[in-house]
Amino acid sequence: MTRLVGLQKSVRVIEGNVMEVPLADGSVDAVVSQEALLHVPDKGRALAEAFRILKPGGRIAFTDWVAHRPLGVADKELMWQGMAVADLHDLRTYAELIKNAGFTVYSVEDLTLDWSNILKQRLAMYRKLREETQQAGTAAGHDAFYESYVRFVDLVNEAVLGGGRFAGAKPK
């Protein structure tokens, strides 16, 4: 994809562990993540690594799923089994984690309403594709994922879960 959009001289893809990033201190200008930190068991450590690899004045921006209210035991287990959701925090806790990593927090936005509408559309599309696949006699996908995703969409529509967008910078 990087090559297709002409960014191969500007972008480098590296496989690694977000809690032990294989980059030198102060070596990047920006850290960006989209809906991925929910899978990370130690978000504080991941944010500290982002801080470490950023140059002074470097920026961090990410979106992630958040918990407006704590999940019950059954929902936590379902989210883990189906979608590998390690842990979810509320908006305030995320802002504290960012600040505790050393960043200046520029913005924290609640995206729950916007994402709720998107999720309803995605689930309708997924259900249709799953049904077509089953009718064709082929595997319809991972059942645990499907069950967790349906419940996930319900939880977002009930505003138990939601989305957040966060931005900050490493001081100069």
> What's the pLDDT tens digit per position in 23-33?
999 999 999 99
> What pLDDT does 12 receive?
79
How far is Cα 42 from Cα 143, in angstroms, rounded to an integer?
Answer: 27
Percent of the chain predicted with pLDDT > 70: 100
- Distance, CA of 50 to CA of 11 (rounded, Å): 17
Mean pLDDT estimate for the chain: 94
Predicted local distance difference test score (pLDDT) of residue 77: 96
Query: What is the token pair recorded at 64?
Result: 């992630």
Pairing of strands 104-110, 161-169: antiparallel
How do 104-110 and 54-67 pair as beta strands?
Answer: unpaired
| Average confidence (pLDDT) over 79-88 | 94
164/141: higher pLDDT: 164
pTM: 0.88
Residue 71 is classified by DSSP as P
Say how far apart CA 172 and CA 170 lie, in whole Å: 6
Domain 28-169 in CATH 3.40.50.150? The answer is yes
Domain ranges of the chain: 28-169
* pLDDT for position 165: 98
Does residue 171 sit in helix, strand or coil? coil
Three-state secondary structure of 50-65 = HHHHEEEEEEEEEEEE
Residue 48 has pLDDT above 80, yes or no: yes
Of the candidate ranges 38-52, 88-102, 138-152, the one whose mean pLDDT is the lowest: 138-152
Which position has the higher pLDDT, 137 or 155?
Answer: 155
